[in-house]
Chains A and B, each alone.
Chain A
Amino acid sequence: MIGGHRRFTPLQRLLHWLMAACILAMLFIGVGMVSTVMPKYLTLVSIHKPLGIAILALALIRLALRLRYGAPPLPADLPGPIKFAAQASHYAFYALMIVMPLLGWGLLSAAAYPVVLFGGWHLPAILPQSDSLHTLLWDAHFYLAFAFFALILLHVAGALFHALVRRDGVLETMASAVTYGEVAPAKQGRHEV
């Protein structure tokens, strides 16, 4: 999965930042909507469902890109446990990006709610109606949302640590959604330790 290049491909970077915005919005909408009975509840729910399906589609594209193009290598001097944590977090991100929308779709299906995206356009049920399945999937969706947000906080803290403290070029592998010249940015901020 590890490519020899210094940065993620432009398409990978574009998807990363686009999905970062979508997923953050999704998590805030999710915790917001389940805590209000005001009219914005319906607005938030009507965004939550199609946005979740959009994230699922983007995540599958992104997974294919990752399998095809891999990721730039982490700095050779990164301690083993940190390297392991970084790689494990990527697996967790892909799992959550794909599983969370499926859990949402599944819990709606198990409750026999129509999965309405836009207007009269809706998705089929992916599970039979079942109170026990609904409960299981609802709980998983709810608690994994908090785990997802915690993982994002760790990810942001890690990225900032690489950028501000280690200055090892890791942030630059993903920085900027658009391409500028490949001037080996990994070396630009290299900080002698």
Chain B
Amino acid sequence: MTAPHQSPAFGSLAFIAVVIAASAAAFAYTAGWFSPQRLTPGKLVAAFAPPTGVALGHRRNHAKGICFTGVFEANGAGSELSRAPVFARGKYPVLGRFNLGTADPNAPDATVRVRGLGIRISTPDGQEWRSAMINAPVFAVSTPEAFYEMLRAHGSKDPNATAAFAAAHPEFGAGLRWAKNGPWTASYAEERFNSLNSFVFVDASGTEHAVRWSLLPAARPVAVSPDELAKRAPDFFEQDIARRVADTPQHWTMVVTVAGAGDPTADPTKPWPADRRTIEVGTLAAQQVQAEPDGPCRDINFDPTVLPSGMRTSDDPFPAARSAAYAKSYDLRTAEARDYPRTTTGATP
């Protein structure tokens, strides 16, 4: 280039425009703007919305709940499976939430099949173990994509949508059988809560163990018919647990089940054989119950991927999807706090 003229400048400008446009397009593609079929956290969360609209300020699912605080007393046996400090013998503070699997925070308790328990166990080194469990023995579907389809079928105006979904997803049968025929109890204190998802525990030698865990109630479960439950007060579940805990702490034993070789870890619809090794690792005690509007669990996300070192997610695709969706739900509801007023001023979490 020895003499100035116009055409090289034009070519250069065109080159610059192409570079910038391609970069912007790559960014937009990564953000999903060209992929309307991509299952985003926003789409998954929106699919929970009931026909009456979302309850602003509340969790988008498991919207009805009540907070509790307590302790997890580890007996030391879990250290064989995981080097997480939470399994060293000792007592660790717990923040938790009893909840019902519904998008409606005002749903009558008897109408909700799925009951849940979220916990956050903290250890003195600042690590946390968060877990959100439910009373179903298996999960409804095998993949997050199928879960989204299931929600869409439930929300569909087509009366045959759920039947069509069930026909296309045979794994749906086990969960459905539990929903129809499994026992109902009249108290959170009598429920068994299950992780359903598989995780990996890493012990002190670095050996990995695929596990699931459950909380087994100390209170003896008493089966109650749904018809009988329907006669009770709409909030009888919350009243019951508040009364029981005020009376005396309520306990659950945490049991970790270790997968055998070849057990399905990636599919939460598939139970593991009943003879798998189980280890009792400690006891959860719920010691105080607080209403949610001012309670300490209100603005906590019981994200099941918040794990201490010594635990990690497995090839089960659900914890990632739950983490992404819970975060979206959290971002939405904390931005809507004025729609879910705290009942007293100056309440601190």
A37 near B334 (CB under 8 angstroms)?
A: no
Among A36, A37, A112, A156, residue most surrounded by chain B Cβ atoms (within 10 Å): A37
Separation of A35 and B13 alpha carbons in the complex (Å): 33
Residue of B nearest to A27 (CB): B27
A131 near B334 (CB under 8 angstroms)?
A: yes
Chain A residues with Cβ under 8 A from B12's Cβ? Answer: 160-161, 164-165
B32 partner, pick from A36, A40, A116, A122, beta carbons under 8 A: A36
**Contact stretch, chosen from A6-14, A132-140, A177-185:** A132-140
List 4 tightest A-B contacts by C-beta distance, closest first: A120-B309, A164-B12, A35-B32, A31-B31
Separation of A161 and B11 alpha carbons in the complex (Å): 11
> Within residues 70 to 102 of chain B, which ones have a CB less than 8 A from any CB in chain A?
none
What 1/0 mask marks residues of chain B from 225 to 238 whose CB sits below 8 Å from any chain A CB? 00000000000000
A37 near B299 (CB under 8 angstroms)?
A: no
A164 near B4 (CB under 8 angstroms)?
A: no
Task: Show 12 residue pairs from A and B whose CB-CB distance is below 8 angstroms, ordered by the A residue.
Answer: A36-B32, A36-B40, A37-B144, A39-B320, A120-B308, A131-B334, A153-B23, A161-B13, A165-B16, A167-B1, A191-B4, A193-B4
Chain A residues with Cβ under 8 A from B127's Cβ? Answer: 114, 120, 122
Chain B residues with Cβ under 8 A from A38's Cβ? Answer: 39, 144, 317, 320-321
What 1/0 mask marks residues of chain B from 321 to 349 whose CB sits below 8 Å from any chain A CB? 10111000011001101000000000001
B309 near A119 (CB under 8 angstroms)?
A: yes
B323 near A41 (CB under 8 angstroms)?
A: yes
Task: List residues of chain B with CB under 8 Å of any chain A CB.
Answer: 1, 4, 9, 12-13, 15-16, 19-20, 23-24, 26-27, 30-32, 38-41, 44, 125-128, 144, 299-301, 303, 305-306, 308-310, 313, 317, 319-321, 323-325, 330-331, 334-335, 337, 349
Task: List residues of chain A with CB under 8 Å of any chain B CB.
Answer: 27-28, 31-42, 45, 111-114, 116, 119-120, 122, 124, 129, 131-132, 134-135, 138, 149, 153, 156-157, 160-161, 164-165, 167, 191-193
B330 near A111 (CB under 8 angstroms)?
A: yes
Chain B residues with Cβ under 8 A from A111's Cβ? Answer: 299, 301, 330, 334
B23 partner, pick from A35, A39, A156, beta carbons under 8 A: A156
Separation of A144 and B123 alpha carbons in the complex (Å): 35
A37 near B4 (CB under 8 angstroms)?
A: no
A112 near B320 (CB under 8 angstroms)?
A: no
**In angstroms, how far is the closest chain B Cβ from the Cβ of A183?**
19
**In angstroms, how far is the closest chain A Cβ from the Cβ of B174?**
23
Residue of B nearest to A167 (CB): B1
A149 near B27 (CB under 8 angstroms)?
A: yes
Known: A36-B324, A39-B320. A153 touches B20 (CB 8 A): yes
Separation of A40 and B26 alpha carbons in the complex (Å): 18
Separation of A167 and B8 alpha carbons in the complex (Å): 12
Chain A residues with Cβ under 8 A from B23's Cβ? Answer: 153, 156
Chain A residues with Cβ under 8 A from B126's Cβ? Answer: 114, 122, 124
A135 near B320 (CB under 8 angstroms)?
A: no
A31 near B30 (CB under 8 angstroms)?
A: yes
**In angstroms, how far is the closest chain A Cβ from the Cβ of B333?**
8
A42 near B331 (CB under 8 angstroms)?
A: no
Chain B residues with Cβ under 8 A from A112's Cβ? Answer: 299-300, 349
Separation of A41 and B300 alpha carbons in the complex (Å): 20
Residue of A nearest to B342 (CB): A131
Chain B residues with Cβ under 8 A from A131's Cβ? Answer: 299, 334-335, 337
**In angstroms, how far is the closest chain B Cβ from the Cβ of A136?**
9
Separation of A114 and B313 alpha carbons in the complex (Å): 17
Chain B residues with Cβ under 8 A from A40's Cβ? Answer: 320
Separation of A27 and B330 alpha carbons in the complex (Å): 22
Residue of A nearest to B10 (CB): A165
Residue of B nearest to A163 (CB): B12
Residue of B nearest to A132 (CB): B337
A37 near B309 (CB under 8 angstroms)?
A: no
Residue of A nearest to B306 (CB): A114
Separation of A27 and B41 alpha carbons in the complex (Å): 18
